[in-house]
């Protein structure tokens, strides 16, 4: 797509929220204001685009939000945007506000919508990776991952106290429908006995073997961190299977769930989000369209939507192996 004159930039958040999205919105609005461009907020993701829920946002509107979790623009998972009719309505709303380009903040689904939309209407879009799952190609970290991790580790530390007091085995489920990043990092960071993630094929029996090996060494409690998308099922299913087969193990369950998506963003996420927000606007003004902005080796980089969507980003096998060695 040839470079356009961009004066009015829309921004939306879509899919699961992630702590730091507000800092990214702030980065977009203030960088645009610096270049004398106007920003319009689209409320509730692609739903808001379809329904014309679009309002001007100015520098002052993004004051006092850098430290807040959630997203001031709200978010949604839009079914209608999957349809050509839905996208047509979205395009008409953007035209009604004379919008020249759009920044979308979200995960894989958000990027897929943006890619189709930009191709269909020859419309400049740019994506900022905002998901706690850290599973987007083209960036070392996604916005929200660090905060979610710290929340998860804090929870596992607390469970450790009670597991230790009662000599219990706990299966602790963290988010990650398709990705083991949160479980792997939280498992390493909390010194877990075991980690079950979609990227390893450890069975329940192998995990129990690992737990029992620890017991033989005099370790009286165990913490197993389970990614919701691992191959053996959720923590409840796993604990049930363990208790049924191994009568000497009292398996307890804790599901951390949406706690991981909320709360004040960590400083790491605020800085990352600020850089990516600014990077998105800088990119648009340089004629960089239909790409995802990311941070690799501390540099702002741009990857095609196509790659960001289709390339798989997984935890390194070397790190999975190291976690195994350290957990013993």
Active-site residue among 17, 100, 133, 146? Answer: 133
| Segment near ligand F6P (CB under 6 A); pick from 131-139, 163-171, 245-253, 275-283 | 131-139
C-alpha span between 69 and 273 (Å, rounded) = 12
Answer yes or no whether residue 131 interacts with ligand F6P by CB under 6 A. Answer: yes
C-alpha span between 44 and 134 (Å, rounded) = 22
Answer yes or no whether residue 321 interacts with ligand F6P by CB under 6 A. Answer: no
Answer yes or no whether residue 242 interacts with ligand F6P by CB under 6 A. Answer: no
Answer yes or no whether residue 113 interacts with ligand F6P by CB under 6 A. Answer: no
7 noted as active-site residue: no
CA dist 89 → 75, 93, 112, 308 (Å): 18, 6, 18, 26
Interface map 177-196 toward ligand F6P (x if CB under 6 A): x-------------------
Closer residue to ligand F6P in complex, CB, 15/194: 15
DSSP 60: G
In the range 49-108, which residues lie near ligand F6P by CB under 6 A?
none
Enter the tokens of residue 149: 């991790």
Q: With contact defined as beta carbons under 8 Å apart, do 320 and 185 qualify?
A: no
The SS3 of residue 328 is: coil
Answer yes or no whether residue 32 interacts with ligand F6P by CB under 6 A. Answer: no
Answer yes or no whether residue 16 interacts with ligand F6P by CB under 6 A. Answer: yes
C-alpha span between 26 and 317 (Å, rounded) = 36
Instruction: Compute how many other C-beta atoms are within 10 angstroms of the C-beta atom of residue 184.
Output: 29
In the range 150-179, which residues lie near ligand F6P by CB under 6 A?
175-177
Contact positions vs ligand F6P (CB under 6 A) = 16, 131-133, 175-177, 228, 261
Catalytic residues: 133
């Amino acid at each position: 797509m040839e470079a356009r004159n961009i004066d009015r930039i829309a921004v939306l958040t879509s899919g699961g929220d992630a702590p730091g999205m507000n800092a990214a919105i702030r980065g977009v609005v203030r960088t645009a204001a610096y270049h004398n461009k106007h920003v319009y907020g689209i409320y509730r993701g692609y739903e808001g685009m379809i329904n014309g829920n679009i309002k001007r946002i100015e520098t002052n509107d993004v004051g006092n939000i850098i430290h807040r979790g959630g997203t001031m623009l709200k978010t949604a998972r839009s079914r209608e945007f999957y349809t050509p009719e839905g996208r047509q309505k979205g395009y008409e709303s953007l035209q009604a506000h004379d919008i020249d380009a759009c920044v979308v903040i979200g995960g894989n689904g958000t990027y897929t919508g943006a890619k189709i939309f930009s191709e269909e209407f020859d419309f400049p879009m740019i994506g900022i990776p905002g998901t706690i799952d850290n599973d987007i190609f083209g960036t070392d970290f996604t916005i929200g991952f660090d905060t979610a991790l710290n929340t998860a580790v804090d929870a596992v530390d607390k469970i450790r106290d009670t597991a230790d007091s009662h000599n219990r085995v706990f299966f602790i489920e963290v988010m990650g429908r398709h990705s083991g990043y949160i479980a792997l990092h939280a498992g390493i960071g909390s010194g877990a006995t075991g980690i079950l993630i979609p990227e390893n094929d450890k069975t329940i029996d192998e995990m129990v073997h690992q737990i029992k090996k620890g017991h033989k060494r005099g370790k009286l409690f165990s913490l197993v961190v389970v990614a919701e998308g691992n191959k053996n099922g959720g923590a409840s299913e796993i604990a049930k299977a363990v208790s049924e087969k191994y009568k000497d193990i009292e398996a307890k369950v804790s599901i951390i769930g949406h706690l991981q998506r909320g709360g004040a963003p960590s400083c790491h996420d605020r800085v990352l989000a600020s850089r990516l927000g600014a990077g998105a606007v800088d990119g648009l003004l340089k004629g960089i369209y239909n790409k995802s902005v990311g941070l690799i080796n501390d540099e702002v980089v741009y990857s095609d939507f196509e790659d960001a969507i289709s390339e798989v980003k997984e935890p390194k096998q070397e790190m999975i192996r190291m976690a195994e060695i350290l957990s013993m």
